[in-house]
Amino acid sequence: MQAAFRTFVRLPQAIGRRLQSTLVIAEHDNNNLTPITLNALSAAKKLGGDVSCLVAGSNCGSVVAELSKAAGISKILVADSEAFVGFLPERLAPLVTATQNQFKFTHIVAGASAQGKSLLPRVAAKLDVSPISDIIEVKAADTFVRTIYAGNALMTLKSKDPVKVITVRGTSFEAASVEGGSAAQENVAAGNLPTDLSQFLGQELSKSDRPELTAAKTVISGGRGMKNGENFEMLYSLADKLNAAVGASRAAVDAGFVPNDMQLKRKRKCLWTCPWLRRRERSICYTLFA
């Protein structure tokens, strides 16, 4: 009788886990997936239940083909339209909301990139739930770990929202393997999208073999001791040898040595990197490092 009672208590938890479903927002350039999408996919698998991916773009068949090879994806939802060129959040948010209303996912996940952090707060507002930002660990389907106080402390939070809208720190989860999968594809309607809120004019990419600052395992940072922007070339040369990213202190950015997207500081770039190399920087209290 006692053993039967224990089985009865645990059964609803198992049922709830099977009924969970997660939508991962695929980030791409219409040709290739961005690496953080595969990190977000790994986080989604830890939630349990079915995992679906949404690919929105224009002529993005190569992205769909690449993503369909990833193991653990049950379905790929494809929204192919010229309206999605540039991954504009004002146009993607209504699409994600409509997709959520149709399929009733329990979780919506994206990488904590500039695009993901622009998109998912809009989606959360439309769904009337609180976004869960920049998680570094999944403890349960409703319990997550994220950093607070500029990374100087860790917070475990439990969400009671019916839909969990989550951005994932890419460096905290291994990239999912793009092999062994055979996900089914399903087209979703673009619907009526607001086209007067923003317009994609173009994109200029700086080509570099160095990893992105928020995804790098090794970071070299320069401060005001570099004296000028030209001296950062020394750090670039070293970074190329170490396959590292290059960052800068607020003082170096304010002095105009480097652009502000290189700044390592609270609300700028929050890193979990090892090792960490610094060049004459005085303050590190605002940056998480290991």
pLDDT, tens digit (0-9, with 9 covering 90-100), for 20-70: 899 999 999 888 899 999 999 999 999 999 999 999 988 888 999 999 989
And the tokens for 22?
């997660």
* Within this chain, domains 2-187 and 219-279 share the same CATH topology: yes
Residue 205's pLDDT is: 62
Task: Give the number of other CB atoms < 10 A from CB of residue 128.
Answer: 9
pTM: 0.75
Which letter, b or e, does each residue of 233-247 get, where b requires 16 or more Cβ atoms within 10 Å of its Cβ?
eebeeebeeeebbbb
> Tokens 């994806």 map to which residue?
73
Q: What is the rounded CA–CA span in Å between residue 218 and residue 272?
A: 9
Q: What is the rounded CA–CA span in Å between residue 100 and residue 104?
A: 5
**What would the pLDDT profile of 271-287 be if each residue is shown by its tens digit?**
544 444 554 444 444 44
> What is the total residue count of the chain?
290
Query: Does residue 144 have a pLDDT over 60?
Result: yes
Q: How confident is the model at residue 218 (pLDDT cuts 50, 70, 90)?
A: confident
Contact 244, 277 (CB under 8 A): yes
User: 219-279 is classed in which CATH architecture?
Assistant: 3-Layer(aba) Sandwich (3.40)
Spell out the alpha helix ranges (H) of the chain.
2-19, 35-46, 61-67, 89-103, 114-127, 232-242, 250-254
Query: Does residue 168 have a pLDDT over 50?
Result: yes
Contact 14, 45 (CB under 8 A): no
Domain boundaries, the chain: 2-187, 219-279
**What would the pLDDT profile of 74-118 be if each residue is shown by its tens digit?**
999 999 888 888 888 998 999 999 999 999 999 999 999 889 999
Q: What is the rounded CA–CA span in Å between residue 30 and residue 33?
A: 8
Residue 161's pLDDT is: 96
Residue 7's pLDDT is: 45
CATH number among 1.10.3720.10, 3.40.50.620, 3.40.50.300, 3.50.50.60, domain 2-187: 3.40.50.620
